[in-house]
Amino acid sequence: MPISLDKIPPGLVGLTETAGVSLRKRGLADRGVRAAVYLVLDRSGSMRRYYRDGTVQRLAEQALALAAHLDDDGTVPVVFFDTDAHPTTEVSLDAYEGRVQQLHERYGHMGRTNYAAAMLEVIEHYTASGATAPAFVIFQTDGGPDSRPEAERVLCRAARLPVFWQFVGFGDDRFAFLRKLDELAVPRRRIVDNAGFFAAGPRPGSWTDEALYDALLTEFPSWLKEAGALGLLPG
């Protein structure tokens, strides 16, 4: 069941209400759709400004508010990645303020951009969790990965799992590789279209919460339908 509004911290009530509007637009609230919301955060060197200005923290809060509708544990597993993936941590309804910056600073040096390592960390965590709902992964980055072939292979293999990857591009990169991932052939390359992408541009913090949620949820409903028809969803 979704978390009741009276259990949401005051600072997240507005976000949670806005997330609910977008879920209703997509018909997901009426269907009682459940999902484990994950957040993957790029901390390559070029991401520094988005940590400093609070944009990444805001994305974590937006993910947490969305999860309040889709899950009932009040937490979002978070994977930070650069040259490698860092072990999964979390933000939660009772520990979210300033949490992203705290974790980011703990990891020290900002490295390169390894999508595959981050994706494998999510898969391992989700598989070990024993979840009875699919995973909805918000995967934020500001550029292409160091190894495109490996990232593509992981995504294609992961198409048989109940995991949907919603990539979000920060910055002024053209994101040609992410656009390619979004359009990989079905069924020749993967059994189902298990990824979406949108570019939030160089000022992602200027997006309204409603616009961001609408973009995040654009392709998820169709994946649920197609993955369900193929018997890929838990339960």
Alpha helices in 73-158 (DSSP H): 99-106, 115-129, 148-158
pLDDT tens for 166-192 read: 999 999 999 999 999 999 999 999 999
Query: What's the CATH number for 36-229?
Result: 3.40.50.410
Q: Cα–Cα distance between 135 and 54 in angstroms, integer? A: 26
Residue partners of 59: CB distance under 8 A and separation at least 6: 39, 41, 138, 140, 168, 204
Q: Cα–Cα distance between 103 and 33 in angstroms, integer? A: 30
Check residue 39 and give left, alpha or beta (phi > 0: left; psi -120 to 50: alpha).
beta
Alpha-carbon distances of 192 from 127, 164, 195, 228, rounded to whole Å: 19, 10, 9, 10
Question: Contact, 164 vs 137, CB < 8 A?
Answer: yes
**Model pTM above 0.95:** yes
Q: 3-class DSSP state for residue 1?
A: coil
pLDDT tens for 37-91 read: 999 999 999 999 999 999 999 999 999 999 999 998 999 999 999 999 999 999 9
Tokens of 120: 């494998």
Question: Contact, 156 vs 128, CB < 8 A?
Answer: no
Q: Cα–Cα distance between 88 and 38 in angstroms, integer? A: 10
pLDDT tens for 196-212 read: 999 999 999 999 999 99
Could you tell me the residue ranges of all domains in the chain?
36-229
Whether 235 shows a pLDDT value over 80: the answer reads no
Tokens of 34: 């459940």
Alpha-carbon distances of 133 from 70, 72, 184, 202, 224, rounded to whole Å: 9, 11, 25, 34, 11
Q: Cα–Cα distance between 220 and 215 in angstroms, integer? A: 10
pLDDT tens for 90-135 read: 999 999 999 999 999 999 999 999 999 999 999 999 999 999 999 9
